[in-house]
Amino acid sequence: MMQPVRTGVSLLQLEKAFAQELAMITKYVFFLLVLGVTSFGYAKPLADHCKAKSVKSISRPWYPEKKSGKTFSYRFQVREGKPGKPTVILTPGGPGDVPMGSEKILSRYPKDFTVILTEPRGIGCNESESGEEYPLDFFTNENVAHDVVSIVKSLKLKNYHIHGVSWGTVIATIATKFAESEGLPPKSTILSGVIGHGVKEIDWLNSVARVYHKELTRIRPESREYLFSLSKPPLGLSQEQWAKLIEFAVTPGDITPTDATQETFLASFLNGLGKGADKEKIAAAEKLAAQFKNKKPEKHTRNWKSLKVNVSCRSIFGAEIGRLVFNKGVFSVERKEKLRDFDKECLQHDLTSPYDSKRFLVKTPLHYVQGIDDPYTPVWGAVYHHENQIYAKRQMLLVKNAGHSPLFTQLTRGGCSEMFWKAVTENNDFSSLVKKCKVPTVVWAEH
C-alpha cells in the first residue's frame, strides 16, 4: 500500500512559495505553453526599464556572418559589481523570456558580482520601436549566440562566466563555442535545465505526465481516490486549463527543500483536493485554479511569433500539436482536435534543423545543475550534453525532487546559492557544496 507523505506545509508557506515561483517561472512557462492572440506589426514604445541607466546598447547586424547590411540596437542590462569580482552573463529560457528589469532575478546572484541580463534579438527590450517585422532567418540560435559574444567584445570582458537556463543553455553552449573561436573564452559555463538536443513535443508532454503520475504516489489517499473518480477535470476547469495548471505546477518541484517532508509544489496543490483536505490547502488550490480559469490570452508581436517558429519549432521542440487529456486521475497524450494557425505554421518547420549540442564541442569548464524531476528539460538531455562534451572539464550537480530551475528555486531557497557560486568561480568543485548544503544533492559523473 502506498504511504502518503506528511503534508506539514501551511497556507502561508504555500502562498509564499507560489508567489516566488509565479514571479520566476510564469513568464517562461506561459511563453512556452500559451500562444494566445498574436498582434502584428505595430509600433510599441520600449518599457521604462529598457531605458534605465543600467541598460547598454550596441549596434548589431541582422546577420552576424555578413560584414555589411542592416543593423539593429541590441540592449542588455548591467548590474555593476565590485572590481575584480566575476561577471555572469545570463542567457534566459523560453524561447522568449525577458528578464531585464527584474530585481528578483538579479537578487539570485552574489551582490558583489557584475551581472548582465540579456534578452533575444527582436524581443522585449530588443523589440523594434518602429514596429519593424524581422524575417524568420533573423531569429536563429547562432545569431542570438553571436549577440551574446558581442557583449564580451564591447565590454572587453575577461573574468566572466555564461549562465544558461533552459533554452538559454542552447545559447550559452553556442556562445561559448563562438567566444572560444575568437580567443575570448569564459572562465566557465553554467547550464541549468539543460537541452542536449532537439526533441519532439510529445517527449516533454509525456515527461510532464510522468512527473504528475509520480506525484500521485506522494499525496493523501483521499486526494488520489478523488482524482481517480473523475471523468473530467476538477475545480470547474476545462481540459486545456487543467493541463496548463498541471504543466505549471510540475515546474518548481520541491517547495520545502530543507524540510523533512520534501513536499513538491504539485503535491501540495493536489493535497487540497478530495475529502478531509486541510482548509488552508483547499483555499490555496482554489486560488491557483482561479489563476488559470481567468487567464486571458497573451498578446505577442509578430517578432515573438517568428522567434517561436524559427527557433522553437525549427530546432528545439518541434510542432506543438499534442495535448494532455485527463481522465480518471491520469493523463494521456493525444493530438489536438483542431490546430490553430500558429500550429499549422509551426508544423511546416517541425524540427527541420534540430539543435544538437555535440555540434558545438567546447573546452571551457562546464557546470551542470539539473533537477531530477525536470519535466521540460528532462535529465537525459543533460546527460546527453555532458557525455558528448568530451574536451571540457565538467561536473553535474543533480538536485533531488527538483524541477525546471533548481538553482533559482531549491538551491536559492535552501540557502545554498552563495556556496554554489563560490564553488563555480573559485574552486570548480561541487563536493564541498554537497557536504554543506542542506538541499538533497549529488555530484554525478565528474570529468
4-7: long-range pairs with CB below 8 Å, 24+? 4/218, 4/219, 4/220, 4/221, 5/218, 5/219, 5/261, 5/262, 5/263, 5/267, 6/261, 7/220, 7/261, 7/263, 7/267, 7/268, 7/271, 7/278, 7/281
Percent residues over pLDDT 90 in the chain: 69
Mean pLDDT taken over the chain: 87
Model pLDDT, residue 447: 63
Within 98-137, residue ranges assigned H as helices are 103-106
Model pLDDT, residue 45: 80
Model pLDDT, residue 39: 33
Contact 154, 72 (CB under 8 A): no
Within 335-406, residue ranges assigned H as helices are 341-348, 379-388
| Cα 289 to Cα 192, 245, 249, 292, 405, distances in angstroms | 29, 7, 11, 5, 23
User: Is the pLDDT assigned to residue 298 strictly greater than 90?
Assistant: no
| Cα 110 to Cα 101, 152, 191, distances in angstroms | 17, 20, 17
User: Is the pLDDT assigned to residue 2 strictly greater than 80?
Assistant: no
List pLDDT tens digits, range 348-367. 999 999 999 999 999 999 99
Model pLDDT, residue 11: 40
Residue recorded with cell 490553430: 340
User: Is the pLDDT assigned to residue 33 strictly greater than 80?
Assistant: no
| Short-list 215, 58, 61, 252, CA closest to 138 | 61
Model pLDDT, residue 349: 92
Rounded Cα gap, residues 273 and 341, in angstroms: 36
Model pLDDT, residue 40: 36
Contact 178, 145 (CB under 8 A): yes
Rg from Cα positions in the chain: 21
User: Is the pLDDT assigned to residue 3 strictly greater than 70?
Assistant: no
| Coil, strand or helix at 292 | helix
Task: For each of the domains in the chain, give its residue range(s) and CATH number, in order of start.
Answer: 47-198+356-444 (3.40.50.1820)
If DSSP states are collapsed to H, E and C, what string results for 388-411?
A: HCCCCCEEEEEECCECCCCCCCHH
For the beta carbon of residue 260, count every other beta carbon within 10 angstroms: 9
- Mean pLDDT for 23-31 is 43
Highest mean pLDDT, choosing among 142-156, 290-304, 368-382: 142-156
Rounded Cα gap, residues 417 and 407, in angstroms: 7
User: Is the pLDDT assigned to residue 433 strictly greater than 80?
Assistant: yes
User: Is the pLDDT assigned to residue 438 strictly greater than 90?
Assistant: no
For the beta carbon of residue 353, count every other beta carbon within 10 angstroms: 13
Rounded Cα gap, residues 366 and 317, in angstroms: 24
Rounded Cα gap, residues 190 and 194, in angstroms: 10
Rounded Cα gap, residues 419 and 414, in angstroms: 11
Model pLDDT, residue 139: 97
List pLDDT tens digits, range 191-237. 999 999 999 888 889 999 999 999 999 899 999 999 999 999 999 99
pTM of the model: 0.89
List pLDDT tens digits, range 391-406. 999 999 999 888 998 9
Model pLDDT, residue 26: 42
Handedness of CA 328, 330, 334, 338 (dihedral sign): positive
Phi, psi (deg, nearest 5) at residue 75: -110, 145
Range in 24-33, 251-260, 286-295 the model is least confident about:
24-33
